[in-house]
Each structure stands twice: as structure tokens, then as C-alpha cells.
Structure 1
Amino acid sequence: MPAELPTIVATSGGWRPGRRTNLEFGALIHHAIDLSGAEGRPSLCHVGTANGDQRTFNAHVSEAGKLAGVDVSHLNLFTMPPTNDLVDFVRSHDVVWVGGGSVANLLAVWRVHGLDEVLADAWRAGVVLGGVSAGSICWYVGGTTDSFGPELRVVTNGLGLLPYGNGVHYDSEATRRPAVHKAVASGELPLTHCTDDGAGLVYRGTELVEAVTEQPGAIAYVVSRDASGAVLEEKLDTRRL
């Protein structure tokens, strides 16, 4: 069942350590599933391009899905896509959840296979798109990334479904906040939405409708530049899931 409006849940979270498994779905993933309006047993498409489609991690995600009562499929692009009809494959799920890793590599590989257009089509059709870290930045114009090395750089070739910049791991990595501020100040990034670890941002269409968190104290922010060129940072009211 498609979501009522095109929906994205962009986060710095979603996974949690399992009690008897390596991973469990955190509250942010469950929230994405709830927003999909799924009836019966939900289905989630996990996309692990950013970490090279590691089969071990895929197995942990499948195990987490089984524990949560969610049917999980994996859209692996290494060494080849799972089907010739990626549109039907992606659209057959309630949620697409994209994992973390290298957003620069993710974007390049997606475009080789036309997955960028497939995901945009699924978003318009009501499949909820979501993800963590690289799986957050990808939906925006761009954001700060360590895809190229330890020193953060800015990517500006995101899918652009959301017309903002994106900053992830805002509280847990010391260089993230200053890198976002510098990019917004220079105009390299537009108005930018950021998340602490454990926080997420919910969009209906391109409108930010809510900031949520699965971790106490984790919040979200908007970073902007005023007419004088000064950078402004606004904390958002962030609801605990």
C-alpha cells in the first residue's frame, strides 16, 4: 500500500545492537514502515551499495527483519542487479532503506544502473525512502562526506529529491558541524538539514514535517546563511519515538 504522499525518512540511525542477533531494527526504521501504511506483513528493500553489498551485513539485516516480522529483500548491484526490471522490484516494497558507507561510490554506481531514476519513480509512487548516513545524504542536493578520505569533503551531486543540503553524525564526529557551516557559508551547500546520531527527519514531498529521534538527547538542526553571509543554526523540536 503506497504512502499518502511521497515520503523520505533521512537519518543518522535506524539500527541497534540485537540482544540475540547482531542487529535489530531501531525505532527510526519502524517509523518508516509505519509511515508507509503497510497492511499485513511489511516489506523492506535493503540497499547496501555504499558498503559494497556485503553479504555478511545483508544476512544480519535479514535476521533483523525476521525478528521484526518484516519481509526483507536486498537490492545488490555487485556483481550485477537482481533483475532486469528494477522498477517493479523496488515498487513491490513498502520501504527502501539505504545503508551507510561511501555516498560518492553509491551515487556513481546507482547512476550506472539507472537506479537513481528508479528510486525517484518509486518515491513518487508512494514507496517510503529512508536510510542512514550515506543513505541519508543521497536523497538531498548533497552533503559532507568522508567518501574521499579522513578529511571531509562536500558532494553536490545527490539525487536532489530534497532541495537541501544534509549533515549526518552532527554530534558524534567533531569535524561534521564546522564542515557543514563552512559549506553553507560559501554557498557550496544550500539550506542544510542535519541530524545527531539517532535522529531523523521526515519529509512529505519536499516539506520537512517532523524531526524524530530514537536516542534520548539526539536532535536535528537547520543550518542557513543570512543576507550578510553569517551562518545560523536552529535546533528543531525533535520528538522521541
Structure 2
Amino acid sequence: MNRQIIAISGGGFSTEENAYIDQYLLKIPRKQDRLKITFIATASNDAQGYIGKFYEAFKEEEPSHLTIQDFALDHVQEMVNASDIIYVGGGNTQYMLTVWRETGFDNVLKQAYEQGVILAGISAGALCWFERCYSESHDDGFEEFQGLGILQGTFCPHYNDKKRQVAFDQWTSKQDNMFTYALNDNESLHFINEQVVAKIRSYTND
């Protein structure tokens, strides 16, 4: 059974209708039935508008979501394992990882991944899978912190943002022998068994 992750830099359902990367994601399980896709909006502190966009985008499937309060449910592992896809939204990466670790949801996701549940995420939801993160800090700068470590190295979403690009390049120049991925918006990476197999670039009509 393959283990798969889709790391999305920017785009997806939150900014586009019928986003190509979301259609790509839905084709991976190759099932005839509707897909069970679960949204995790921890990084936006369970923003209701964001969750609503998710339900609208995936209304043809079997969408659901888990809030921070749901992480304490006794059967949360079974709920996550029953999903075909876990889709993690964007927002504050460090806050999200802190919540996951405090509640044990980080281990829930890791176990589901080992069982073949596809992990996908945009921005913070893409960065979190890597060993090391370098992202916004509370003082409007950037700082390093630990990711979940499922994928080697580090990842920079929104690399087309000049401030982020400069900060990330300065940080990575001081790191030794680290896998580094940097993507502009509307670019994504597909990992199978922790190895990158495809870079997907989509285009909008903007």
C-alpha cells in the first residue's frame, strides 16, 4: 500500500473554483464511489468561512471536517483512518503543530498515513509534513521550528513572495545537506512513499 502526500503551495479550493490541483487529488484513490475527504482547519483556528468553502468545493464527494475539539474524541483515529483523503488547510503552521502535539493528533495523522490515507494540504498544510519548518513568527519575521518529520528536509510555500523568498534563501544557505523544496503559488508536489514523483503546475484565468 502506497503512502502519499500532496503538498500544495497556493491555490486550491480556497481561491479557485474547480481547482486543477483538487481534481488531481481526487483522482489518486481511483475509486468509483464518492470519496471520503476530511478537512482539518486547525491552522485557521477552525474558521467557519474556510470550512464552508471546503464543503462547497467537495459537495460531490463525502466531505466532513474535524475541529480542534474533535481531536479529543475516543474514536478520532477510526474517523481519520476511514477517510480516503485528509485535507489540511492553510494558516498559522506553528499554532497548528502545537495544537496537534498537545492533543496527540499528530500521531493520529501519522498512523493514518501508514494505513494508506492520503495526506494533502495547502500552505501550512503542506509545510507541516516536513522535518523542519521556516515560517512566520509572532514579530512579523520568520523562525525555525520542527515539523512532523514524515518527509525529509524543508518546504517553502508562496516562494514568489519576495520577502519570504529572501528570508528562506538566507536560512537555507546556512543549513547543511538538507533537502529543500520551494514552490510558487499554483505549484504542488506529489510524494509517494516519501519520494517526490511529480511537480504539478496549474494555471488560472486571472
TM above 0.5, yes or no, is: yes
* In structure 1, distance between residues paired with 2:155 and 2:77: 26
Contact 1:165 1:189 in 2 (8 A): no
Q: CA deviation at 1:30?
A: 2.0
Contact 1:102 1:147 in 2 (8 A): no
**What is residue 172 of structure 2 aligned with on the other side?**
184
Count of matched residue pairs: 203
1:167 correspondence with 2:160 = no
Q: CA deviation at 1:42?
A: 1.0
**Cα deviations by residue, 1:91-127 (Å, 9 ceiling, x for unpaired):** 1111111010100000000011111111111111111
**Cα deviations by residue, 1:124-150 (Å, 9 ceiling, x for unpaired):** 111110111100110001232114242
* Aligned residue type for 1:5: N
1:128 correspondence with 2:122 = no
Contact 1:202 1:208 in 2 (8 A): yes
Contact 1:36 1:126 in 2 (8 A): no
Identical pairs, percent: 26
**What is residue 65 of structure 1 aligned with on the other side?**
58
- Residues 52 and 25 from structure 1, CA distance in 2 versus in 1: closer, same or farther, beyond 3 angstroms? farther
- Residues 25 and 82 from structure 1, CA distance in 2 versus in 1: closer, same or farther, beyond 3 angstroms? farther
**What is residue 195 of structure 2 aligned with on the other side?**
207
* In structure 2, distance between residues paired with 1:62 and 1:188: 42
Contact 1:143 1:189 in 2 (8 A): no
Q: 1:33 aligns with which of 1, 18, 26?
A: 26
- Residues 191 and 85 from structure 1, CA distance in 2 versus in 1: closer, same or farther, beyond 3 angstroms? same
- Residues 94 and 80 from structure 1, CA distance in 2 versus in 1: closer, same or farther, beyond 3 angstroms? closer
The TM-score normalised by the length of structure 2 is: 0.91
Q: CA deviation at 1:151?
A: 1.5
* In structure 2, distance between residues paired with 1:42 and 1:190: 35
**What is residue 13 of structure 2 aligned with on the other side?**
15
* In structure 1, distance between residues paired with 2:30 and 2:73: 26
- Residues 205 and 149 from structure 1, CA distance in 2 versus in 1: closer, same or farther, beyond 3 angstroms? farther
* Aligned residue type for 2:8: T
Q: 2:42 aligns with which of 40, 49, 52?
A: 49
Contact 2:14 2:54 in 1 (8 A): no
Q: Which has the higher strand share?
A: 1
Q: Helix, strand or coil for the counterpart of 2:173?
A: helix
Unaligned runs of 5+ in 2: none
Q: Highest CA radius of gyration, 1 or 2?
A: 1
Unaligned runs of 5+ in 1: 19-23, 217-241
Q: Helix, strand or coil for the counterpart of 2:162?
A: coil
- Residues 17 and 180 from structure 1, CA distance in 2 versus in 1: closer, same or farther, beyond 3 angstroms? closer
Q: CA deviation at 1:189?
A: 8.5
Q: Which one scores higher on RCO, CA 8 angstroms, separation ≥ 6?
A: 2
* In structure 2, distance between residues paired with 1:65 and 1:26: 11
1:111 correspondence with 2:109 = no
